[in-house]
Amino acid sequence: MRQTIWREFTLAFWDVWERIYSLLFHVRKVQPGSLFRLNLREYRGPALTLRDGTALHPGDKVGELHLANRQLLELQQKCGNQIQAVMCVKKELKQSLTELAALVAQEKVDPQVKAFFGITIFHQGARLLGFEVEEIRSRFWRFCFRCGQLLLLATYHPLGFRRFQKGHQSLVPKVIWMSRSQLIRNFSPPERP
């Protein structure tokens, strides 16, 4: 009972926080039904070269990807056991990346956006989708992101905080990157003859 109250309180708080954040930073759904939300911003980190040679410099335009957490929770709940949930989420993430790639290829996302990034504790899975993974340099921000994402994981995971009894040392948030051209190459549907 207490866990249910805690979960509902945390979900309600997080929904309010996401609405405020979305308004302040112009975060929008990529497409109806997509697991991604997107905001465009200037890159503020040090010069960075991605695997495909895309060079990022301070001031370049990038897209920041956010997961639609409530939708992700609903998807997990529909999929049954944990293995099925992972497979469902992977399928939906691929579909959402395909939708984003189509919008990018059609220039419905600002053509000046050079790359897309996100911050996640699930970077191993992101790597399998073709993202590059980079450490968060600032210890302070790494700590802040870790606290927030572990709280979310405990809220969304069926085991709640008991999930951490299985270990959480590898759940360190990292930055994931994919260049605009890599997104189009990896996720554009094949052209029909």
pTM: 0.82
CA angle (176, 35, 118) in 5-degree steps: 15
Sort residue 130 into left (φ over 0), alpha (ψ -120 to 50) or beta: left
Indicate the pLDDT class of residue 186, thresholds 50, 70 and 90. very high
Q: How far is CA 56 from CA 46, 107, 117, 155, 186, in A?
A: 8, 20, 12, 35, 20
Q: Which residue type does 19 have?
A: R
Side-by-side strand order, sheet with 28-29:
28-29, 36-42, 61-67, 113-120, 174-179, 132-135
| Strand, coil or helix: 46 | coil
pLDDT in tens, 107-163: 999 999 999 999 887 767 888 899 999 987 878 777 766 777 666 666 665 555 555
Each residue's pLDDT tens digit, 12-25: 887 888 888 888 88
Q: Decide: 171 and 120 in contact? Cβ < 8 Å.
A: no
Q: Residue 154: name the closest of 166, 146, 162 by CA.
A: 162
